[in-house]
Copies of this chain bind each other. A is one copy, B any other.
Amino acid sequence: MSQATNSFVESNQDRLLEELKQFLRIPSVSTLPEHAGDIRRAAEFVASSFKTAGLENIEIIPTAKHPLVYADWLHAPGKPTVLCYGHYDVQPPDPLNEWISPPFEPTLRDGNIYARGSADDKGQMYMHIKAVEALRAVNGTLPLNLKFLIEGEEEVGGESVAKYVAENAVKLKADVALVSDTELFAEGLPTLCVGLRGLIYTEIEARGPSRDLHSGMYGGAAPNAVFGLVELLAKLKDSNGVIQVPGMYDDVAPPDPAEKKSWSALPFDEKEFLQNEVGSSRLTGEPGYGVLERVWARPTLEVHGIAGGFTGAGAKTVIPARATAKVSMRMVPNQDPEKIIASYKAFIQEHTPAGIETEVRILSYGRAISVNPNHHAIEVAAKALRDVMNKETVFIRSGGSIPIVGDFAKHLGIPTILMGFGLPDDGLHSPNEKYKLANYYAGIMTIAHFFEQYGQ
């Protein structure tokens, strides 16, 4: 491990933090059209950071939606090439009133930086750029070849980057991809993620009467779009959370016994998970599976939001004409999203209540990912983590979805190192998202160290 890069990080802490704060102040919410200008500003910020780090061939690449930012440094012939990926877009910050400090005014509390995007993914992708800056400052050069591809649509399905990867396989060719958009299993525990669930994201719209009706005049004869949607959604899972869409579990690959055994050795306390992270009266889910298996290796279905009828203060006696819900399904290895989508659509049509019409819109989908832990780059990454953090690296999965990892496998034929420095209580997608400052600095050191080791 290079003491020099570590010293560089330590002596530049304040500046590295101030620059991250600037990045976090840009409200680059990709799903909301009113933030298009902020998305552009965030892309320009990334391009300018590439320049400072000494990367070359910097491009802001227009797409059908939000721009990609590319850069490379290719002056290490005979050395491997790493493709660094991250995203500069963030989730919407609502519910706004639950934030202790404003989501786009980064604020330090208890050694953490609080802001939307601090952990997911601005704070993490920025470490890659700063690792390059540190290595160049210390050595005047880089130990291997690097390509950077940063997108602005990760939180809305990532269509543009998927298309770009498919169409630019030669330009992007590398030996391995590096993504920091996951978390340490526990504070201080070096972690590599070798599995991700896939995601099918949908919207269901239900229509009943042609207009909102008076519930006194029509209640008992007119179908109710909200109730119709409620009846339909309730049929998607049984009371144990078992998904009722036919064929949902047919192709599910169970984790192999060795992997399952390693999970049971992880420092996981179900009671603490319930109290400190979930905060409900009890956990739920399929009987017969442990929490980690339910979250990492089982398909799930969630309703993310629902809206219809009168929802203001007080009373209004309408039979609503329309209602909508956002519904997603998480996929595990060996499941074919297109097969599941077809079965899901058929299920919705079949179970739509009398008098109601439904429409299903598929917003995005991607399959689950597995990475081989014995791949050379993964082994080097595990060693780099161990060297910096002084503990044996553990291999876990994540229940989340990073569709680009599937695109790298399919179009570039390369595995992805999922080396994230978030923590389980970082509150991704929630109010008061945070990122631990110590992990920001350790991440920069570890990535620089990995580049050096992998370049040898």
Q: When the two chains form their complex, are residues A221 and B294 in contact, meaning their CB atoms are under 8 A apart?
A: yes
Residues of B within 8 A of A308 (CB): 305-306
Mask, A344-372, CB within 8 Å of B = 1, is 00000000011111000001100000000
Q: Does A124 make an interface contact (CB < 8 A)?
A: no
Closest to A227 in B: B303
Q: When the two chains form their complex, are residues A315 and B201 in contact, meaning their CB atoms are under 8 A apart?
A: yes
Q: How far is the CA of A328 from the CA of B364 in the complex (A)?
A: 37
Q: When the two chains form their complex, are residues B305 and A311 in contact, meaning their CB atoms are under 8 A apart?
A: yes
Known: A216-B401, A324-B311. A92 touches B316 (CB 8 A): yes
Mask, A249-290, CB within 8 Å of B = 1, is 000000000000000000000000100011111111110000
Q: Does A431 make an interface contact (CB < 8 A)?
A: yes
Q: Does A410 make an interface contact (CB < 8 A)?
A: no
Selected interface stretch from A1-9, A14-22, A74-82, A231-239: A231-239
Copies in the complex: 2
Q: Does A209 make an interface contact (CB < 8 A)?
A: yes
Q: When the two chains form their complex, are residues A315 and B218 in contact, meaning their CB atoms are under 8 A apart?
A: no
Find the residue from A212, A221, A278, A319 having the highest chain B CB count within 10 A. A221
Contact of A429 among B213, B280, B300 (CB under 8 A): B213
Known: A306-B311, A307-B311. A284 touches B328 (CB 8 A): no
Residues of B within 8 A of A167 (CB): none
Q: Does A140 make an interface contact (CB < 8 A)?
A: no
Known: A302-B215, A305-B311. A230 touches B227 (CB 8 A): no
Min CB distance A344 to B, Å, is 16
Known: A208-B280, A306-B306, A429-B318. A219 touches B295 (CB 8 A): yes
Min CB distance A318 to B, Å, is 5
Q: How far is the CA of A221 from the CA of B274 in the complex (A)?
A: 9
Q: How far is the CA of A98 from the CA of B280 in the complex (A)?
A: 40
Q: Does A309 make an interface contact (CB < 8 A)?
A: yes
Chain A contacts with B in 119-166, Cβ cutoff 8 A: 155-157
Min CB distance A282 to B, Å, is 5
Known: A317-B304, A328-B215. A222 touches B280 (CB 8 A): yes
Min CB distance A303 to B, Å, is 5
Closest to A351 in B: B239
Min CB distance A379 to B, Å, is 26
Q: How far is the CA of A120 from the CA of B234 in the complex (A)?
A: 36
Q: When the two chains form their complex, are residues A306 and B304 in contact, meaning their CB atoms are under 8 A apart?
A: no
Contact of A31 among B32, B222, B312, B324 (CB under 8 A): B312
Q: When the two chains form their complex, are residues B316 and A155 in contact, meaning their CB atoms are under 8 A apart?
A: yes
Q: Does A241 make an interface contact (CB < 8 A)?
A: yes
Residues of B within 8 A of A309 (CB): 303-306, 326
Q: How far is the CA of A91 from the CA of B318 in the complex (A)?
A: 10
Q: How far is the CA of A98 from the CA of B318 in the complex (A)?
A: 15
Residues of B within 8 A of A432 (CB): 211
Closest to A323 in B: B306
Closest to A314 in B: B31
Contact of A326 among B277, B310, B398 (CB under 8 A): B310
Q: How far is the CA of A337 from the CA of B307 in the complex (A)?
A: 29
Q: Does A404 make an interface contact (CB < 8 A)?
A: no
Q: Does A197 make an interface contact (CB < 8 A)?
A: yes
Residues of B within 8 A of A237 (CB): 227
Q: When the two chains form their complex, are residues B330 and A295 in contact, meaning their CB atoms are under 8 A apart?
A: no
Q: When the two chains form their complex, are residues B353 and A239 in contact, meaning their CB atoms are under 8 A apart?
A: yes
For the A-B complex with A92-B312, A94-B310 known, give 5 more contacts whose Cβ atoms are closer than 8 Å.
Answer: A217-B399, A227-B237, A233-B234, A303-B320, A317-B429
Q: Does A106 make an interface contact (CB < 8 A)?
A: no
Q: Does A62 make an interface contact (CB < 8 A)?
A: no
10 contacts between A and B (CB under 8 A): A209-B279, A210-B278, A215-B328, A219-B399, A220-B241, A222-B283, A227-B303, A230-B234, A282-B355, A305-B309
Find the residue from A207, A330, A430 having the highest chain B CB count within 10 A. A430
Q: How far is the CA of A320 from the CA of B94 in the complex (A)?
A: 11
Min CB distance A179 to B, Å, is 14
Min CB distance A293 to B, Å, is 8
Q: Does A54 make an interface contact (CB < 8 A)?
A: no
Q: When the two chains form their complex, are residues B231 and A33 in contact, meaning their CB atoms are under 8 A apart?
A: no
